[in-house]
Amino acid sequence: MAISVSAPGKLMILGEHAVVYGYPCIVSSVDKYLTVKGGRSFDKNDTFVTGKIRDTSFIKSAIDIIRNKYKLKERIFLETESDLGEYGLGSSAAVTVATVKLLNELFGLSLTNQEAFELSYKAVLQAQKKGSGFDVASCIFGGTIYFDGKSKEVDVFSHDPLPIIVGFSGNKGDTMIMIEKVAELKKKKQKLVEEIFNSIGKLVGQGKRAICKKDWQRLGKLMNDDHQLLIKLGVSNNKLNQLVGEAVRAGAYGAKLSGAGGGDCMIALVSDENRAKVEAAIRNAGGELINVEVGKGTLINY
């Protein structure tokens, strides 16, 4: 019997990079999914059909960790399907979480969400060495969460959609390279980078309050400030700055890069009246609009 699990993609709203050093962040799941379908197999080895997901290291590491912990002997077959694309919407975390949840269902492991988080995060770190775990938490808990980079505690504080437009900058960012770049800057300019992280940490707390009150003016201002801090950290690029600038000029409450930077996506917070103008501005500046609802993703087992 085959089971399917779909894990949602994510977008960082505020707090990227500082979260790697223990500060909090706000992340929203999106209504685009990566699905893992699979079952027990009688083959000698596990079999994977992963289509567009070329890197199977996250799947393998999730299977390894669960198999060792629960002393599972049986082999499995597994297929993946993704509508997350190559936009930096969190495919690696999604495929890891979906694999862990699939094994949970197949072998009746009764994992709590917290246990699923811990095992999935361990699997991600085994495959890619660095990362705060915010993306794993977002896949498991859905909605919009406040994630503490130090304790890894999760507060799911909203299930409402956020009025956010997403623009792809045209090239893929490399998260590990960007994390390394910040680490290098921190070695050279420790005080400056710590000040930036502190400022980011503060605006994340204010951002949570703004989202709870649906104070979009305030949230937009915080997004603009966060983008400036990310520029100081050296993780933005000309294209992202151009898309962010055009979105704000066209009337967005605020805009920023989202994620590790160096490429991938930017986000812009908009009113209903300005949505079309901001979309046109992003498109005219060469950005590709990604059609997602932000804050509405949720993990699905079937």
Partners of 266 in the β-ladder: 167, 257
20 binds ligand MEV (CB under 6 A): yes
**Residue whose pair of structure tokens reads 């994620």 in the numeric block:** 259
List the one residue from 7, 12, 211, 230 that touches ligand MEV (CB under 6 A): 12
Q: Residue type at 166?
A: V
Least CB distance to ligand MEV at residue 300 (A): 23
233 binds ligand MEV (CB under 6 A): no
265 binds ligand MEV (CB under 6 A): no
19 binds ligand MEV (CB under 6 A): yes
Cα–Cα distance for residue pair 26/154, rounded to 1 Å: 10
Cα–Cα distance for residue pair 28/162, rounded to 1 Å: 9
* 174 is annotated as an active-site residue: no
List the one residue from 140, 203, 219, 260 that touches ligand MEV (CB under 6 A): 260
175 binds ligand MEV (CB under 6 A): yes
Binding to ligand MEV (CB under 6 A): which residues in 193-232?
A: none
Burial (CB count <10 Å: 0-12, 13-18, 19+), residue 191: exposed
Cα–Cα distance for residue pair 28/138, rounded to 1 Å: 7
Distances (CA, A) of 18 to 2, 78, 106, 126, 144: 40, 35, 37, 21, 18
Choose between 38 and 263: whose C-beta lies nearer to ligand MEV: 263
Least CB distance to ligand MEV at residue 17 (A): 5
Size of the site for ligand MEV (CB under 6 A): 13
Binding to ligand MEV (CB under 6 A): which residues in 117-136?
A: 131-132, 134
What is the per-residue DSSP string for 185-209?
A: HHHH-HHHHHHHHHHHHHHHHHHHH
Binding to ligand MEV (CB under 6 A): which residues in 47-106?
A: none
Choose between 38 and 259: whose C-beta lies nearer to ligand MEV: 259
Beta strands in the chain (DSSP E): 3-14, 24-41, 47-49, 75-82, 144-148, 154-158, 164-168, 254-258, 265-269, 288-290, 300-301
List the one residue from 5, 89, 119, 179 that touches ligand MEV (CB under 6 A): 179
Q: Which of 31, 64, 135, 160 is catalytic?
A: 135
Element (H, E) at 226: helix 216-232
Catalytic positions, please? 135
* Residues in contact with ligand MEV by the rule CB under 6 A: 12, 16-17, 19-20, 131-132, 134, 175, 178-179, 259-260
